[in-house]
Amino acid sequence: MSEWNSYQIQDFVPFSADVYFRMLERMGETFWPLQLFTLAVGVVALLLALRGKPRIALLLLAPVWVFVGVAFFAQRYASLNWIGQVLSWVWIAQAALLVLLAATGRGTADRLEFLSASTITGVLISLIGLLMFPLLAPVLGATWTQAEVFGLHPDPTAVVSLGIFMIALRGWAQWLTCLVPLLWITLSALTLQVLEAPWWLALFAVVAAAVGNLIRQSRAMLSGPKS
C-alpha cells in the first residue's frame, strides 16, 4: 500500500469534537464582552470598505488578526495541535501585510462599483461571517457568551476579512491577502467535516464563491481595462 494513500483527513485532526468546540466556547467566555467590540469593528470595517475607504478598513483588520493569532492560535489551539504555533505566526504576518497595504495604498480599490459581482460577493461573504457564526450559538444550545464571533474566533474573522478583501482590494494584492484566509477556511472546513459539524459546507461555499470571484476578476483584468 502506498503510504500517502493510507492517510485520511481525520489523521490530521488530533482532537475530538467536544474538545474543539469547548475551546471555542471558552475563548468566548474568557474575553466576554470583548466580542461585542470586535463585532462592531467588523461592521465598521465593512462599511468603510463600502464607502471607498479601503486603507482604513485594512488598518482596522490588522490588530484583529494579531489578536486571533496570539490569543487563539498561540495560547489555545497550539496546546491541541502543534501547527497552532505556525498558524499564529502566519496570522501575525497577515496582519503585517494588511498594515503595509494600508500604509502604501497599493492594490486597494480606487473606486467602488456597488452592484459589481466583487462587491456583492464581498458583502455576502462578510455577512456570513458577521451573522451566521454568532447565530450558530442559540441553534446549538450555547449561550451568547460562547458564540463564535469576528475578532475572537478564527473562522468568522477569516470569513469577514475575505469578504472585505473582495471589496477593498484588486489584482495581486487581493490574491495575496486572500491566500491565508482561504487556506484557513479550507483547513477549518475539513476539520469541521471530521468533527461532523454540518456548517463545514457553508465554509466550502465561501471558499468556492471567493475563488470564483478572484478568477473572474483576474480574467476581466487580463481581457480589458475595466475590472
Partner 1 sequence: MEGKMLRRQFLKMLGAGVVSAWGFPGMAGAQSSALLSKPIPSSGESLPVIGMGTWRTFNVGNDPELLAARTQVLKTFFASGGGLVDSSPMYGSAADTLGFALKKLGIPKTLFSAEKVWSPAGGTTREQVASLAERWGLKTFDLVQVHNLDDWQEHLSVLRELKASGVIRYLGITTSHGRRHNEFEQVMASTEIDFAQMTYNITHREVESRLLPLAEEKGIAVIANRPYDGGSLIKGLKRREKVPAWAAEECGCRTWADFLLKFIVSHPALNCAIPATTRVEHMNENMAAGTAPLPDAKAREKMVAYIESL
**Which residues contact partner 1 by CB under 8 A?**
1, 3, 6-8, 10-11, 13-16, 18-19, 22-23, 26, 76, 79-82
For residue 88, give the C-alpha cell.
Answer: 499564529
76 or 216: CB nearest partner 1:
76
**At its nearest, how many Å lie between partner 1 and the CB of residue 82?**
7
**At its nearest, how many Å lie between partner 1 and the CB of residue 192?**
15
Q: What angle do CA 214, 55, 159 make, to 5 degrees?
A: 45
Cβ-proximal residues to 225 (8 Å cutoff; 6+ apart), any chain? none
55 or 76: CB nearest partner 1:
76
What CA–CA distance (Å, rounded) separates 16 from 87? 20
**At its nearest, how many Å lie between partner 1 and the CB of residue 191?**
12
Query: Is residue 214 a contact partner of residue 178, using CB atoms and an 8 Å limit?
Result: yes
**At its nearest, how many Å lie between partner 1 and the CB of residue 98?**
29
**At its nearest, how many Å lie between partner 1 and the CB of residue 77?**
9
86 or 208: CB nearest partner 1:
86
23 or 120: CB nearest partner 1:
23
Distance of CA 188 to the CA centre of its chain: 10
Considering only CA atoms, which of 138, 129, 139, 145 is closest in space to residue 64?
A: 129
19 or 40: CB nearest partner 1:
19
ω into residue 33 within 30 of 0, thus cis?
A: yes
